[in-house]
Chains A and B, each alone.
Chain A
Amino acid sequence: MEYLILFLKTAFVLQLVILLASTCTWFERKVSALIQDRVGANRAGTFFTTKYILLKPVFFILKILGILGIINTLFCDPVKAIFKEDFVPEGVSNFMHSLAPFLAVLPVFMAFAVIPLAPDFEIGGYLITGQLAQLNVGVLFLFAMGSLAVYGVVIAGLTGNNKFSFLGGLRASAQMISYELAMGVCFVIIAVTYQSLDFHTIISAQAGGHWGIFSNPFAWITMIILFIVGMAETKRGPFDMPEAESELVAGYFTEYSGMKFLLFWMGEFAEIALFSLVLSVFFFGAWDPLLFDLPTGTAVFLNLGLFDLTYGMLGALLGHIILMSKVMFFCILQVTIRWSLPRFRFDQLMDLGWKYLLPMSLVNLVLTAAWVLAFNSN
């Protein structure tokens, strides 16, 4: 039974990552369309409209909501990508060329395993924890996965066997290594603030409206630094030099097509979702709704025949929805910034990382530590 629960949780987290990545792609299309005064993806193929009577209500609801275009990113794009011709450039090993996209998505997917996605609840006597793996070094695991994510782009740049992908790979790896430092310092600040590296402790410390962003006056600065670092780590927004389409074709994934290209794409959007999730967990109380308390306990709320819906399960469901709406908010914010701001120059990017963000986060660490020592220590 424990293994079944573990299996179901793994499946849930995997589908959630893929769903978040697809939804972010759709956000990207819609937001870019809105900013450029277009309509954007707003229709789907005839499959949903004519044939299957069972799918008609889904189609109807999506059409009423005006989000019919989401079907494209959820179903049509992957199918198209899988059946596309796979191209491997001459003179590179096929294995290495195929390895790069997997290395680009694997750390992001693994990072989702340690982040809680819903409050703990009980079902049939089994305690279901909201995260896949409860590590007491969860934040460090996140950082380790962040540093492993560089391999995908480095190998993609190397196995492209042309100068565009090589330059893109170099730019991407230099950028990710540089911004990792500020990210590491931000994680240290988080550890100092909550005096723990365990996500569970971090979230329970914020329960009841005591969000991390209100915990000390410097949390705002940490949040903004981590947000900028997150945008740079995902190689998006004004930081997309590695794939600068006007100079480098597509950067490190120039030579990738079909599903391999889609894996890079998915990894990038999953990373956006990951950073949004991390921001909401660290600073915005994860599933804490701020105004009211989530229902807990094992008292029966509603009898559904098959099983009883308890207050704890209702709280978990509500908490998950609240957390996901926070994640969606940050995803849309990142996409909006990406489509509003022009691209940096590469030396400006390096300056920002090394001369501004890193010293700022170090000063912020000292200030936060002093604040915690003076007011919050027990």
Chain B
Amino acid sequence: MGFSLQFKLENTMESFIFYILSGLCIASAMSVILFRNPISSALALVVCMVGIAGIFVLLDAHFIAMIQLAVYAGAIMVLVLFVIMLLNVGSGYEIHRSKFVWGLVGLVILPIFTYLFWTQLSGISILPPTIKDTVNDGTVEKIGMLLFTKYLFAFELASVVILSALTGAVLIAKSNSKHNNL
């Protein structure tokens, strides 16, 4: 976090916890791509999600923190693990890679991303006052009011998208079972 990200950290305890959590997030996010075993990667991603939920708690956004835990760390990552279990992608799964080529690719990509991060992120305060004001004290009630008044259209649109995904999943599962004559 070497950028000029402006966090509102009142005391040292809070910033101490923040650095622990963000360190945990970064380390686990790195582990996701560094682990060879897909199950370890998925678990590292879970740790990352839990760390992000902790940062949300530090920002007084309790509702979003709980949703982060229940939806991302809970539901989505469990499904990922479930798929890994069902496909039985064991630890033997490994891409044959030439270290030289991938190192070269890394060397090209690294400066591009560094440049992007410096230019895009340096000016941004990660805590715009609007989020703080709307989310902080009311949490659930305020978010509910906002969802059903100001952001009603986006909310309904999201539910339509999820419904279409649900229908699609049922359709795919149905056609498969007919094919297999089960």
Contact = CB atoms under 8 A, between A and B. Distances in A.
Interface of A: 93, 96, 99, 135-137, 140-141, 143-148, 150-151, 154-155, 157-158, 166, 169-170, 173-174, 177, 180, 197
Contacts of A157: 85
Given A140-B66, A148-B74, A197-B140, 17 more contacts: A136-B62, A137-B62, A140-B67, A143-B66, A144-B70, A144-B74, A146-B74, A147-B73, A150-B78, A151-B81, A154-B85, A155-B81, A157-B85, A158-B39, A158-B85, A166-B85, A180-B75
Nearest to B84: A158
B139 interface: yes
Contact of A137 (B66, B78, B85, B86): B66
B63 interface: yes
Nearest to A136: B139
7 contacts: A137-B139, A144-B70, A147-B70, A150-B74, A170-B85, A174-B82, A177-B79
Contact of A151 (B37, B78, B139, B140): B78
Interface of B: 37, 39-40, 43, 46, 62-63, 66-67, 69-70, 73-75, 78-79, 81-82, 85-86, 139-140
Interface of A: prevailing SS: helix
A148 B66 CA distance: 11
B62 A135 contact: yes
B93 to A, nearest CB: 14
Nearest to B62: A137
Contact of A147 (B74, B81, B140): B74
Q: Which of B46, B63, B70, B140 has the most CB of A within 10 A?
A: B70
Contacts of B85: 154, 157-158, 166, 169-170, 173
Interface of B: prevailing SS: helix
B69 to A, nearest CB: 4
A355 B6 CA distance: 50
A148 B73 contact: yes
Q: Which of B66, B69, B75, B79 has the most CB of A within 10 A?
A: B66
A144 B78 contact: no
Contacts of A145: 69
A143 B46 CA distance: 17
